[in-house]
């Protein structure tokens, strides 16, 4: 029986609640700014990270221009690390699209891992700016589409504030020491995510791509990473998604066990297999390649990939990573048209 749904906000709210919907939603929990959106306001990508209005404007533009069913801020992966004292580089000089990176870490060697979390964490860096962007988005399009945000997972955040090389080796040599750091970072993530929830976001994605099975064994994932993800999802009240890219078939059950309402996987995941493993009710978001399909593919490739995702059993059509801004407008339109045909 056809369900009557008024808009994307209602559709995706019902999706998270496990209620029947009219068709597969098409949205994301990660960045989805387009150069079309940037052009329509005359903004430079580098400046949108530092200005709440610009951030909100371009975040809303992917919905306004193409009907993409959400708006997500921020666009980079440095917000939490910056609040912890890292210096970031936004590449203000660059004409190209470059995402901000960490210039200066806070942990330089093993002995500095016992960090103190700043008591004014939520006042630091750009957390207030992201909250302001969320508020602007709620006022602008909050009745029509869900407003999302994201935080890093503890292991990925640890990789931002210390050398990844050291973190990986220590996760093997000294798991207790790494565990203690992840526990603290889980608290940081909980504080920040709760603040976003209070600001009124409709869903939060926890991005833990550093712990993909391309890098860490499923065993290490289960023993060292999963406990802190559980701690985080246990403390969050709203809709949550756990995103991990790369090889995830072996850890998909652990991802679900983390307590996230939904899991997000990329094109390397065999979703048909994951669906079989996790059952009909599990919320599995994925899993098209946002670059090799959406940016460099033609319209037919986009359409066939979207169909394939749905046939394999995704609960929502959702990219494997941030949508790369130079996505051709005709491909965005083809994707949304394919979705609306169903």
Which distant-in-sequence residues (6+ apart) come within 8 Å of 84 by Cβ? 106, 115, 117, 118, 121, 124, 161, 188
Does residue number 99 form part of the binding site for other proteins (CB under 8 A)? yes
Query: Taking CB under 8 A as the rule, does residue 102 contact other proteins?
Result: yes
x/- contact string, 169-208, with other proteins (CB under 8 A)? x-xxx-----------------------------------
Query: Running DSSP on this structure, what letter comes out for residue 320?
Result: S
Going by their DSSP bridges, the two strands 101-104 and 87-89 should be labelled as antiparallel
- Please, which residue, 115 or 164, has the CB nearer to other proteins? 164
CB of 180 to other proteins, least distance (A): 18
| 246 lies in the binding site for other proteins (CB under 8 A) | yes
Q: Between residues 5 and 106, which has the closer beta carbon with respect to other proteins?
A: 106
Q: In this chain, which stretch among 113-121, 162-170, 188-196, 269-277 interacts with other proteins, using CB under 8 A?
A: 162-170
- Nearest by Cα to 231 from 179, 273, 196: 179
Please report whether residue 101 would count as binding other proteins according to CB under 8 A.
yes
Q: What is the footprint of other proteins within residues 291-310 (CB under 8 A)?
A: 291-292
Residues with Cβ within 8 Å of 63's Cβ and at least 6 positions away in sequence, in order, are 8, 69, 70, 71, 141, 144, 145
Burial status of residue 259 (CB atoms within 10 A of its CB: 0-12, 13-18, 19 or more): middle
The count of other CB atoms within 10 Å of the CB of residue 1 is: 3
Cα 117 to Cα 122, 124, 143, 187: the distances in Å are 11, 11, 36, 9
Within 10 angstroms of residue 311's Cβ, the number of other Cβ atoms is 10
> Per-residue x/- marks for other proteins, 253-292, CB under 8 A?
-------------------------------------xxx
d(CA 304, CA 255): 28
Q: Confirm or reject binding of residue 91 to other proteins (CB under 8 A).
A: yes
Among 4, 6, 119, 165, binds other proteins (CB under 8 A): 165
Q: Which stretch binds other proteins (CB under 8 A): 14-22, 123-131, 211-219, 304-312?
A: 211-219
Site membership for other proteins, residue 108 (CB under 8 A) = no
Find out whether 211 and 244 touch, Cβ atoms under 8 Å.
yes
Q: Are 288 and 339 in contact, with CB atoms under 8 Å apart?
A: no
Question: Judged by CB under 8 A, which of 168, 180, 195, 278 binds other proteins?
Answer: 168
**3-class secondary structure, 246:** coil
* Binding range to other proteins, per CB under 8 A, among 106-114, 119-127, 163-171, 194-202: 163-171
**Residue 216 found at the interface with other proteins (CB under 8 A):** yes
Among 52, 321, 334, 339, indicate the residue that binds other proteins (CB under 8 A): 321
Q: How many residues bind other proteins (CB under 8 A)?
A: 30
To the nearest whole angstrom, how small is the minimum distance from the Cβ of residue 103 to other proteins? Answer: 9
Q: Do residues 105 and 86 lie in contact, with contact meaning Cβ atoms separated by under 8 Å?
A: yes
Residue span 27-46 as binding mask against other proteins, x where in contact by CB under 8 A, dash where not: --------------------
Would you say 145 or 321 has its CB closer to other proteins?
Answer: 321
Q: How many CB atoms sit inside 10 A of residue 320's CB?
A: 27
> Closest approach of Cβ 287 to other proteins, in Å?
15
Query: How many CB atoms neighbour CB 109 within 10 A?
Result: 9
Tell me which residues touch other proteins (CB under 8 A): 89, 91, 94, 96-99, 101-102, 164-165, 168-169, 171-173, 213-217, 220, 246, 290-292, 321-322, 324, 326
């Amino acid at each position: 029986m056809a369900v009557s749904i008024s808009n994307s906000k209602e559709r995706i709210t019902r999706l998270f609640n496990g209620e029947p919907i009219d068709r597969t939603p098409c949205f994301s929990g990660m960045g989805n700014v387009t150069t079309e959106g940037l052009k329509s306001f005359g903004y430079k990508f580098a400046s949108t990270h530092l200005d709440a209005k610009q951030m909100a404007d371009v975040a809303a533009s992917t919905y306004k221009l193409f009907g993409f069913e959400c708006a997500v801020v921020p666009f980079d992966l440095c917000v939490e690390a910056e609040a912890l004292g890292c210096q970031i580089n936004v590449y203000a000089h660059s004409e190209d699209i470059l995402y901000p990176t960490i210039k200066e870490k806070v942990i330089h060697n093993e002995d500095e891992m016992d960090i103190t979390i700043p008591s004014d964490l939520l006042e630091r860096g750009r957390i207030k700016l992201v909250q302001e962007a969320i508020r602007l988005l709620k006022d602008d399009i909050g009745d029509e589409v869900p407003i999302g945000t994201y935080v890093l997972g503890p292991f990925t955040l640890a990789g931002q504030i210390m050398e990844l090389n050291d973190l990986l080796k220590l996760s093997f040599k000294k798991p207790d020491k790494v565990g203690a750091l992840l526990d603290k970072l889980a608290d940081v993530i909980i504080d920040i995510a709760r603040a976003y929830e209070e600001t009124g976001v409709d869903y939060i994605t926890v991005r833990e791509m550093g712990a993909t099975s391309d890098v860490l064994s499923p065993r290490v994932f289960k023993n060292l990473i999963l406990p802190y993800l559980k701690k985080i999802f246990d403390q969050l009240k709203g809709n949550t998604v756990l995103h991990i890219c790369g090889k995830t078939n072996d850890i998909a059950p652990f991802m679900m066990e983390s307590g996230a309402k939904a899991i997000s996987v990329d094109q390397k995941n065999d979703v048909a297999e994951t669906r079989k493993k996790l059952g009909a009710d599990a919320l599995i978001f994925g899993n098209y390649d946002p670059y090799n399909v959406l940016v460099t593919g033609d319209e037919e490739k986009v359409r066939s990939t979207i169909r394939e995702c749905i046939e394999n059993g995704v609960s929502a059509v959702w990219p494997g990573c941030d949508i790369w801004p130079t996505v051709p407008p005709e491909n965005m339109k083809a994707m949304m048209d394919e979705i609306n045909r169903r």
